[in-house]
Amino acid sequence: MNLSERDRKVIWHPFTQQQTALPNIGMVSGKAALLYDENGKEYIDAISSWWTNTLGHANPEIAQAIKQQVDALEHVIFAGFTHEPAVQVAEQLLDLLPEHQAKVFFSDNGSTAVEVALKMAIQYWHNQAIQKNRIIAFKNAYHGDTFGAMSVGARGYFNQPFESFLFEVEFVDLPTASNFEEVRSHFQTLLHKNDVAAFIFEPLVQGSAGMLMYEAAFLDELIKIAEQADVLCIADEVMTGFGRTGKLFATDYLQYQPDIYCLSKGITGGFLPLGITTCTQKMYDAFVSHDKLKTFFHGHSYTGNPIACAAAAASLRILKNAQDKIDQLVHLQTYFVEKLQVHPKIENIRQAGTIVAFEVKSNTSSDYFNNIRDVLYENFIKRGVMLRPLGNTVYVLPPYVITEQQLLRVYEVIEEVLELA
């Protein structure tokens, strides 16, 4: 049996209907923007393997950092102990984030980074004996798969079986030029009772909703209103962080900054899972007390794992000098956007930094279960390009190391496949 056949017998894959899905492709190696399967076939990774491999595959500097750390310290409990890679990551991150960010809390992935943020925000008010227990979020949001993260995400396909278990959240429309006055009014009305603990958002791009994009000016105004009402603001930069929108963080486009950041995906360059939640000194101080009940009781077995932290520290060192590559990718993506603007089978083409997305015109509704998705995916894969449409939404989100020739091939394949759609 080959790797794909062995996999089929024993593994249950994420976001996959096992009855109808194509066989899982057995991958054996990767280099930069390329992946190779067990038969030697080459694939261009045009989605950074679920948006994680910002620096491509098998980056030698990150790989070397991991090798060195494995030989020194593979893991240690993070309650009562610390280690050099964790301190390095925290120091590096706080140098990159806005000045008011002061403390770093480690977890395992994007969902847990959001869980930590929500628990921090709610307990922040609880520790001060202030009754604030409501959360505001955008409609269509996706913040993860754990119960808190699902609660602040869109109610629908992904969490329908669990809806009765999710806590109540106030949802507002994603702001646009045509609806902003209405959104602002709704937002202000929700704050009138003075019981809102936090406002959580994906800045500028809602990833899993279909790469929905909105303007920084609208988000700035909502954060400003939230600040005036003493509401904590949580930026879920799990997808947008580390250069995806053209700047290091999507919030770098804002004048008003959030109180809490949720980070993951690209932080280790795609090598290892790691989640991080950062907060202000003011927030942290609300948990520092002789009263042990004010402790933040949250942690995971692998919190602050030294190997993952070593990968993150190396990735952050590279990212500090990667702006030229990011700018080059933004420029190339802009070129292809302009080229595809007039394609008869494409609508609503849009770009946010290194991210390009568009809808393939369809006779059925534009949603996650649009059947055109399977046709597109199968034909992309046949042609050696890894693209994973969200329904009839196709997005291109490659590693920063992709070459111009490779990206040209991605768009050639897109045009070929569109002829079949």
Mean pLDDT confidence for 254-278: 98
Same domain, 155 and 260: yes
Domain end point (choices 287, 319, 351):
319
Task: With a cut of 70, say whether residue 419 has pLDDT above it.
Answer: yes
For residue 23, the 8-state DSSP code is P
Q: Mark residue 80 as left, alpha or beta (left: phi above 0; alpha: psi -120 to 50; beta: remaining).
A: left
Mean pLDDT confidence for 191-203: 96
Same domain, 310 and 272: yes
Q: Mark residue 271 as left, alpha or beta (left: phi above 0; alpha: psi -120 to 50; beta: remaining).
A: alpha
Same domain, 105 and 190: yes
Same domain, 69 and 196: yes
Same domain, 312 and 338: no
Same domain, 305 and 355: no
3-state secondary structure of 219: helix
Domain end point (choices 289, 319, 349):
319
User: What's the pTM?
Assistant: 0.97
Same domain, 71 and 176: yes
For residue 406, the 8-state DSSP code is H
- Of 410, 395, 418, the closest CA to residue 344 belongs to 418
Task: With a cut of 70, say whether residue 366 has pLDDT above it.
Answer: no
CA 405 to each of CA 208, 329, 384, 401: distance values in angstroms, whole numbers, following the listed order: 28, 12, 14, 12
Same domain, 88 and 207: yes
- Of 194, 195, 198, the closest CA to residue 132 belongs to 195
Same domain, 280 and 132: yes
Which residue range forms the structural domain that includes residue 196? 61-319
Backbone angles phi, psi at 323, to 5 degrees: -60, -35
Which CATH number characterizes residue 266's domain? 3.40.640.10
Same domain, 339 and 308: no
- % residues pLDDT > 90 (the chain): 94
Same domain, 13 and 35: yes
Domain end point (choices 319, 337, 360):
319
Where are the alpha helices (H) located in 109-259, listed in sequence order? 110-127, 147-151, 180-190, 216-228
Mean pLDDT confidence for 154-171: 93
Beta strands in 302-372 (DSSP E): 346-352, 355-360
User: What's the structural domain count of the chain?
Assistant: 2
- Report pLDDT digits (tens) over 200-227: 999 999 999 999 999 999 999 999 999 9
Same domain, 364 and 330: yes
- % residues pLDDT > 70 (the chain): 100
